[in-house]
Amino acid sequence: MNDPAAEEPTEAEAPVCPRHPDRVAYVRCQRCGRPTCPECQRPAAVGVQCVDCVRETKRAAPRIRTVFGGSATSTAANSRPVVTLTIIGICVVSWLLQLVTRGAWTDALWFWPWGGVMEPWRFLTASFLHSTSPLHILFNMYALWITGQFLEPLLGRARFAVLCLLSAVGGSVGVLLLAGDPFTSSAWVTPVVGASGMVFGLFGAMLPVMRRLGRSMAQVLVLIAINGVIGFFVPNISWQAHLGGLVTGALVATAYAYAPKERRALVAWVVPVVGIAVLTALAVWRYSAVGVL
């Protein structure tokens, strides 16, 4: 008569998870057939798969991209507008530092044409500052969020970041180019702060993007017109920065939107290099024209 105890498998014979050898695992991966513990199991169409097989499947899967070169993945982690949220976070922290330091942080980073001569970083940093009124930063951050969550997934994070930064600098260059006579115009000594140059760059980018997608541009044109008119009638708003950002953003997005598929990677590198070179050349030309350089 057989002893039932002798027929039971010993713990040494029990299958164990390859990633966690100290854990007994009777469930097997439907793809590779190896035992997998609960921590290493991932739901599949039929049964479960181990984390190694899931990772290998993702690595082997073709990368689907949008018509502009951005990743077309629908996963929550990759579709989150990280760059947009980062810029908003930087602006909020910077605004709080403006309040806490009672203007010292603002004085170090704001832009005005004469200040940009010796401290060129101000062409960019001014876009991350705002007036002490909460309405200023709230409006800009809301506009950035609305346009950013639409454009960033289409363009991809790197291209979108380039678009934002070049638009920010383009806004300051617009202020410089349209400042008038340096010895009679107060624009040369008037401080400029705010992300509106960047925001208008995103407004401008919407035009070639919408056209490339074959969608109506009417709503975008109305939005640009309304905000543009406000800059001429409401005091303490720099329409020059709006115009500079708008033109810069439209040109950058046009290059991305109409780049041939086989040259998208090259264009992604060329645009920031050419953009920085052109904006720098315009600033140098303007300063030289007035005898500063």
- The whole-number pLDDT of residue 75 equals 45
Q: For residue 66, is it within any domain?
A: no
- Looking at the structure, tell me whether residues 47 and 144 fall in a common domain: no
* Residues of the chain predicted below pLDDT 50: 1, 6, 8-9, 11, 74-76
For position 249, which CATH number holds?
Answer: 1.20.1540.10
In angstroms, the CA 38 to CA 183 distance is 74
Residue 273 forms part of a structural domain = yes
Strand spans (E) along the chain: 41-43, 48-50
Count up the domains in the chain and report the number.
Answer: 2
Which pLDDT belongs to residue 162? 97
* Amino acid at the residue 131: S
Query: Looking up tokens 């600098």, which residue turns up?
Result: 169
Please indicate, yes or no, if residue 67 is contained in any of the structural domains.
Answer: no
Give ∠ CA 75-215-261 in degrees, rounded to 5.
Answer: 60
The whole-angstrom separation of Cα 45 and Cα 31 is 11
**pLDDT value, residue 65:** 65
Same domain, 161 and 206: yes
Enclosing domain of residue 31: 12-51
Structure tokens at 150: 């639409």
- Token pair, residue 11, equals 């713990």
Same domain, 98 and 152: yes
- Give the per-residue pLDDT at 59: 76
Say if residue 3 is exposed, middle or buried (CB neighbours under 10 Å; 0-12, 13-18, 19+). Answer: exposed
208 falls within a domain: yes
Residue 259 belongs to some domain of the structure: yes
Residue 133 domain-assigned? yes
In a domain, 59, yes or no: no
DSSP assignment letter at 69: S
Tokens of 179: 């400042």
This prediction's pTM: 0.78
Please say whether the beta carbons of 136 and 195 come within 8 A. Answer: no
